[in-house]
Structure 1
Amino acid sequence: MYLCSTMKKYVDVILPLPLNGTYTYAVPDDLSLSVEAGCRVVVPFGKKKYYTAIISNVHYCPPSEYEVKELFAVLDDSPVLLPLQYRFWQWLSGYYLCPLGDVYKAAMLRG
């Protein structure tokens, strides 16, 4: 359930981990003009780890189920994942019954 606000910007991100779904992060005010669906961002996940995630959605609704952390940095000026590619990733995830994070990891990360 989301309680929408018109002030603060939030992003849903795909992490390169075998996790189902996306996670929501708050966007710091100084980065609010830089976030766009398909761009890579650096986010904290867990106690001391940071990951390069991809924004799947930009919105103004914080989650009520957990405390939201702020994203750390925006890495791209323009999207590296286009909407058509994202829909294909979603299809791959469903067809092969694998988490979206695994599709991201296979498609974008090396080594």
Structure 2
Amino acid sequence: MKIFDILRRRTCRKKAGARGAENQGPEEEVEIRRQKLALLTGREKECLLLLLKGHTMKETAKLMGVTLPTINTHTNSIHKKLGVKSRAQLIIQYRDLAEEGTKK
């Protein structure tokens, strides 16, 4: 868990520097993330939720009934659409929304 805290701090610092005078609050950031999530297809959302729950790509492929290259394609598409560069960054930025989605 410690690595995620370190990455979160780095991500927050980069965001703060990139925002400049904009200074968005937490509500605006959550809304932006929700808008980005809306860009995902149903299968990409399913893949994202499984990855956020901690499944490996191989396990995700098996659970979704597709091949590993298909999961690679979904993952690459998710990264591009959400503007993240790694699975760690994806988890840090979107785990709260995924938890919220599974509670409903």
Which one has the bigger helix percentage? 2
Task: Tell me the TM-score normalized by structure 1.
Answer: 0.22
Task: Tell me the TM-score normalized by structure 2.
Answer: 0.23
Structure of greater Rg: 2
